[in-house]
Amino acid sequence: MATPAGLLLASPPVISGVAAMAACAAMAVFYVAVLYAPTVILRFPPPTSLRTFLHRRFACAAVASAASVLATASLLRVWSLSDFADMFAVFGIRKDHLIQAVAIPLLLTSLVYAGSFVARVWLLVSSWGGGDEVEIGCAQRLAQWIQAAVADVMVWRNYVVAPFTEELVFRACMIPLLLCGGFKMSTIIFLSPIFFSLGVQLGYTVIFGWYATFLLIRTGNLLCPIIAHVFCNMMGLPVFSSPRTKGAALVAFLAGSIAFFWLLFPATSPELYNSSFDRCSCWHGFCNWK
């Protein structure tokens, strides 16, 4: 079985498909169950504020994430790797190709929000009239948002803790397990969000889960789905159309969506994010995906 340069295992990881699915389900349930540990198990008094409540959840999410990483490393038998950097690479945690991992998924994901951008720009122009007034208004709003974000615990939840811990558990830990369990790439893309729904919810998150799983499998860099996750949390649901824009938002959305699907595979080509493959097109060599 081919492995990328520098990633040498003492022995190939062996895990059955049933065991991989059971481990993924257990991690999904544990990710939610541990959130109730402070009051149910540790018998802490009820939180007196939203900040205290979320701080406890941040700590619980960190514990769940660490436990999932340790469990995955044990199941895949990567403890004997000579370099921790190689072990982290199994989870898509890498320091190479950082510019590609940040810029390309951000630009690709933004195409789906072309209608949202048009609607927001249209609103700004109609509110402030254009020219220097728009520029000053945008700068003031950005400065106010940054200042408020630093102290806002919900910002930390939506843009830092949730994206990082959810992608680490539901993508970085589960995808290697499923790949090593013998599941095909297409199966994993549609299967992985099911485990996420066990821990979180259905609906829009399933669609994003397909996309995030696709990003990690194609690129092998955990930053890619994290960046997409943060951006989607900031933007919310894409704007399909808006009566205020006189059809401009709808045209932008359709054009952006077409461009998104047209660029989806070229923009996520493994060659853009990896230096060598050793005759394998996947990101860590545990699968035989062609």
Entry pTM: 0.85
As given in the structure block, the two tokens for residue 284 are 């860590």
- pLDDT of 282: 46
Instruction: Tell me which long-range contacts 53-56 makes (C-beta under 8 A, separation of at least 24).
Output: 54/153, 54/154, 54/156, 54/157, 55/153
Gap between the Cα atoms of 101 and 215, Å rounded: 10
As given in the structure block, the two tokens for residue 117 are 């951008």
How many Å from the N-terminal Cα to the C-terminal Cα in the chain?
A: 13
| Extents of the domains making up the chain | 16-80, 91-125+178-289
- pLDDT of 40: 80
Gap between the Cα atoms of 97 and 186, Å rounded: 25
Per-residue pLDDT of the chain in tens (290 residues, 90 and over written 9): 234 434 444 344 568 889 999 999 999 999 988 988 888 887 888 888 888 999 999 999 999 999 999 999 888 887 655 667 777 888 998 888 899 999 999 999 999 999 999 888 887 776 665 455 545 556 677 777 677 777 788 989 999 999 999 999 999 999 989 888 888 888 888 888 788 776 555 566 788 999 999 999 888 899 999 999 999 999 998 988 777 878 888 999 999 999 999 999 999 988 888 776 544 444 555 444 33
Q: CA quadruple 287, 224, 212, 241: dihedral positive or negative?
A: negative
Q: Which residue has the tokens 């998150």?
A: 205
